[in-house]
């Protein structure tokens, strides 16, 4: 369905699960859009994840996964796509390291992992790692049949507070202690995917309804948080979730960007502790940001320029409400507009976006 003058051979395609806390802030939407334009990825399903511990009253209690699912639906509509299975994940983290939350999302991970298919299977975790931990607890055999790429965790060797980890430390420990191949993209690495709003205005906004929405919703959030000193930074952003894509786009023989270490355990304070020395994980320390972002910009332009070769006209800026008055599911944000800047200060500290 995409406008490419090349094809990816079937035997080189990868089965892929998307997992996204898509309404947490403004970057997941970019990565979801990018993933769906990559022919190498055979997307088997899209899972909307929670950001429950960082909700801070933005949505009704235990409704953040639903908010993410509503945003997934919106992105698909704007791209003109309607053929991917979509699932809502758990609305909270798991209660301990032994008890899964059984959802259709976790069942689907198990079902796809256990299905016979010679192609490799990856899951890109762009938020809390809850659903994967639940699937492992439900069926440990999936660990030998798929690989996890996780955007999350503090920097080595100490670790410490980090947003995606904070939302489910128990789940992270389940995955780290399992035998599943794990590629971790910690905070200092996903921070490498820095962009400016001017860059996005030129490279993203002109291209289709989706390009305009991606840019305008980010600017709307940036404006709404104007009174908050910590984050965002005014005219730059971090598209950190792009790490799940970059790990798969990079040349397989390019091995200088990561090291393999003994998987740690993670304490309640999110610091790394000694773990199983026999269990090794891949930890990135640099990624090919140019390759990734230029691939996104090129594919957006190729696929959302009209047949006459024109990009969508750049009209007067129209703001997109970051938390709309009413979502498709009927969820209403809890906060009145005048309450947001005060609450946002707390959310920004939790995001660790400094």
DSSP 61-111: TT-HHHHHHHHHHHHHHHHT---S-EEE--SS--SSSS-----HHHHHHHH
| DSSP-derived secondary structure letter, 298 | H
Query: Could you state, in order of their start, the residue ranges of all structural domains in the chain?
Result: 11-351
Please report the pLDDT score of residue 98 as a whole number.
98
136 has a pLDDT exceeding 90: yes
Distance CA 73, CA 32 (A): 11
> For residue 334, what are its two tokens?
């809890």
pLDDT at 163: 94
Residue 5, both tokens = 């003058």
**Region 137-155: what's the mean pLDDT?**
98
Hey, what are 10's tokens? 């079937």
Q: Which fold has domain 11-351?
A: Inosine-uridine Nucleoside N-ribohydrolase; Chain A (3.90.245)
- Rounded Cα gap, residues 46 and 129, in angstroms: 14
Residue 124: per-residue pLDDT: 98
pLDDT, position 348? 52
Q: Would you say 69 and 108 are in contact if contact means Cβ atoms under 8 Å apart?
A: no
What pLDDT is attached to residue 234?
A: 83
With contact defined as beta carbons under 8 Å apart, do 175 and 276 qualify? no
- CA 31 from centroid of its chain's CA atoms: 7
Average pLDDT, the chain: 89
Closest by alpha carbon to 335, among 23, 90, 55, 107?
55
Q: Rounded to an integer, what distance in angstroms lies between the CA atom of residue 230 and that of residue 253?
A: 39
Quick check: 254 pLDDT over 90?
A: no
Query: According to the model, what pLDDT value does residue 340 have?
Result: 47
Q: The whole model's pTM is what?
A: 0.89
Of 154-163, 233-242, 284-293, 326-335, minimum mean pLDDT range: 326-335
pLDDT of residue 310: 63
pLDDT of residue 23: 93
pLDDT of residue 80: 96
């Amino acid at each position: 369905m995409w406008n490419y003058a090349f094809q990816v051979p079937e035997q080189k395609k990868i089965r892929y699960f998307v997992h996204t806390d898509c309404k947490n802030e403004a970057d997941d939407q970019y990565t979801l859009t990018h993933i769906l334009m990559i022919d190498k990825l055979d997307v088997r399903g899209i899972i909307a994840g929670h950001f429950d511990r960082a909700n801070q009253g933005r949505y009704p209690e235990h409704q953040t996964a639903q908010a993410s699912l509503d945003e997934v639906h919106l992105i698909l509509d704007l791209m003109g796509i309607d053929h991917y299975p979509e699932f809502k994940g758990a609305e909270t983290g798991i209660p301990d390291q032994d008890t899964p939350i059984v959802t259709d999302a976790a069942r689907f991970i198990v079902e796809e992992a256990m299905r016979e298919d010679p192609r490799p299977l990856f899951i890109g975790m762009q938020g809390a790692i809850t659903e994967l931990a639940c699937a492992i607890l439900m069926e440990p055999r999936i660990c030998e049949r798929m690989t996890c790429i996780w955007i999350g965790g503090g920097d080595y060797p100490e670790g410490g507070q980090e947003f995606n980890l904070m939302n489910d430390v128990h789940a992270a420990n389940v995955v780290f202690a399992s035998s599943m191949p794990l590629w971790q993209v910690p905070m200092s690495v996903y921070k490498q995917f820095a962009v400016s709003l001017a860059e996005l205005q030129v490279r993203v906004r002109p291209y289709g309804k989706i390009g305009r929405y991606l840019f305008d919703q980010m600017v709307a959030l940036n404006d709404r948080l104007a009174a908050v000193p910590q984050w965002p930074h005014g005219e730059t952003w971090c598209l950190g979730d792009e790490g799940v894509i970059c790990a798969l786009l990079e040349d397989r023989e390019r091995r200088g960007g990561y090291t393999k270490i003994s998987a740690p355990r993670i304490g309640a304070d999110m610091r790394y502790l000694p773990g199983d020395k026999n269990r090794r994980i891949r930890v990135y320390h640099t990624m090919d940001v140019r390759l990734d972002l230029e691939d996104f910009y090129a594919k957006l332009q190729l696929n959302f320029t009209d047949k006459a070769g024109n990009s969508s006209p750049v009209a007067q800026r129209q703001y997109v409400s970051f938390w709309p008055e009413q979502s498709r599911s009927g969820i209403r944000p809890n906060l009145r507009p005048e309450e947001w800047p005060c609450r946002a200060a707390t959310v920004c500290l939790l995001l660790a976006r400094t």
